[in-house]
Amino acid sequence: MSIRRFIRKCEEFRICAARGDRAGLVLLENTEETGKSLYTIQAEGSGRFSSIFNSEYIEGNANGANFGCMKPYAGKHLIFESYEPFLQYGFNALSPNQDWDGELIKESFDGDDRSWLICFKGNPIINGKELKIMDYAKLENKHYDVQLNDAIVGVFTKLDPALKLNFEKND
């Protein structure tokens, strides 16, 4: 039937979203789009991602396996097949030479001023403030008190390219 797609450019990254209304939908993404996708977040439903003509894939579902690293697929054409109606988000770098660490938070944590927090589902309360879907904020070097309330919240930290180069040179 149909897939609706959205993209939101933020200060240092992009968030994309796709919503499908049934099982068996196929979403294709070309290298220009996927070369910058670093993480996928399955907020509703389920399905699987792979690069085209590859037998290995990442499964995602909203009930546990809802966070996947897309870095192995950088620069490849991607395909997603839905198992049921779905809503998924992607965390994307602004350029192919940016790298980020990402994770879903499960409890209170200490922030890093190179990090951003993004709410993908629900209404968590963080430091006394209730968030809604697609709220995001740059973090500070301080403690964040988290009440998830069954929400999905990610923290993404921009990696320093100089550190990556130094690490590679020492190999």
**CATH number of the domain that 78 lies in?**
2.60.120.10
Can you give the pLDDT at residue 59?
81
What is the C-alpha to C-alpha distance for residues 88 and 169, in angstroms, rounded to an integer? Answer: 37
Domain boundary among 63, 93, 123: 93
- Are residues 114 and 79 located together in one domain of the fold? no
- Are residues 9 and 89 located together in one domain of the fold? yes
- Are residues 114 and 158 located together in one domain of the fold? yes
List phi, psi (to 5°) of 11: -60, -45
Give me the number of domains the chain comprises: 2
What's the domain range around 34?
3-93
Residue bearing the bigger pLDDT, 36 or 139: 139
Can you give the pLDDT at residue 164?
53
- Are residues 51 and 114 located together in one domain of the fold? no
- Are residues 84 and 123 located together in one domain of the fold? no
- Are residues 56 and 14 located together in one domain of the fold? yes
What is the C-alpha to C-alpha distance for residues 100 and 74, in angstroms, rounded to an integer? Answer: 13
Domain boundary among 52, 67, 93: 93
pLDDT surpassing 80 at residue 27: yes
Question: Using one digit for the tens of pLDDT, what is the confidence trace for 115-162?
Answer: 999 999 999 999 999 999 999 999 999 999 999 999 999 999 999 876
Give the model's confidence band at 170: pLDDT under 50 very low, under 70 low, under 90 confident, else very high. very low
**pLDDT, average across residues 36-43:** 90
Place of tokens 């149909």: 2
- Are residues 15 and 78 located together in one domain of the fold? yes
Can you give the pLDDT at residue 35?
57
Domain boundary among 41, 64, 93: 93
What is the C-alpha to C-alpha distance for residues 39 and 41, in angstroms, rounded to an integer? Answer: 7
Q: Helix (H, G, I), strand (E, B), or coil: what is residue 73?
A: helix
**pLDDT, average across residues 28-40:** 76
- Are residues 32 and 73 located together in one domain of the fold? yes
- Are residues 125 and 145 located together in one domain of the fold? yes
- Are residues 111 and 79 located together in one domain of the fold? no
Domain harbouring 162, CATH code: 2.60.120
Question: Using one digit for the tens of pLDDT, what is the confidence trace for 55-110?
Answer: 888 788 777 778 988 888 877 888 899 999 999 999 999 887 889 999 999 999 99
**pLDDT, average across residues 39-60:** 88
**pLDDT, average across residues 26-53:** 84
The total number of residues shown for the chain amounts to 171
